[in-house]
Amino acid sequence: MIKTKRVLPGEEVAVEEEYLASEGTYNEDGIIYASQVGDLELNLEEMTATVRSSNPPNVLRNGDVVFAVIADTRSTMATVDVAAKDGSERGVGGETYGTIHVSKISPGYTEDVTKELRKGDIIRARVTQVKPSLQLTTKEDHLGVVLARCSKCRGEMVRSGKLLYCEECDRKVTRKIADDYGQVVF
């Protein structure tokens, strides 16, 4: 016999004297909690507490447009952590750590990735490969940095032509900017 009901993450669903934590649940100090939104299944034969997600996380596919944070940059590539798919409020599942090669930054020639993307920038990018490694591109007008902070004062930089400008420090920096820089609401 299986009992089901809908639960939220962090909701107490069972105790370890009666059930084993399984998919979608975790055991903390003898109490079993849901780790995701879904349908709780208390399996009385197997003595397992499971929460099956009715809303599975987005799995990235080729061509998807995503928002990502720049984790690090070198002259030849940037590493990014994908946070969300554009147009979706659900989180991203599977591999979220990807790279953008110097040849995939902008339509023109890019000499040095660190002049176009910087650690902490929020970018919009397109997935070009999922396996064996996640690869992305910012080679379109609508792709690139959508929000950047000044590396000196951490203030939000504003667009100034093809550059970004910090009013506080009165300095300009180069970036591969998306056409709607500063207008994306998160």
Contact footprint for Zn ion (CB under 5 A): 150, 152-153, 155, 166, 168-169
Q: Strand pairing partners for 127?
A: 136
Name which of 65 and 169 has its Cβ closer to Zn ion.
169
Q: At its nearest, how many Å lie between Zn ion and the CB of residue 168?
A: 4
Q: At its nearest, how many Å lie between Zn ion and the CB of residue 159?
A: 15
Strands 92-93 and 58-59: parallel
Q: What is the DSSP string of 66-108?
A: EEEEEEEE-SSEEEEEEEEETT--SPEES--EEEEEGGGS-SS
User: Tokens representing 132?
Assistant: 């064996």
Name which of 37 and 169 has its Cβ closer to Zn ion.
169
Q: At its nearest, how many Å lie between Zn ion and the CB of residue 117?
A: 18
Name which of 74 and 152 has its Cβ closer to Zn ion.
152
Q: How far apart are CA 33 and CA 38, in angstroms?
A: 12
3-state helix, strand, coil in the chain (%, to 5): 5, 45, 50
Name which of 143 and 164 has its Cβ closer to Zn ion.
164
Q: At its nearest, how many Å lie between Zn ion and the CB of residue 164?
A: 10
**Closest residue (Cβ) to Zn ion?**
150
Q: How far apart are CA 63 and CA 130, in angstroms?
A: 10
Name which of 64 and 121 has its Cβ closer to Zn ion.
121
Q: At its nearest, how many Å lie between Zn ion and the CB of residue 155?
A: 5
CA nearest to 125, candidates 149, 151, 163, 97: 97
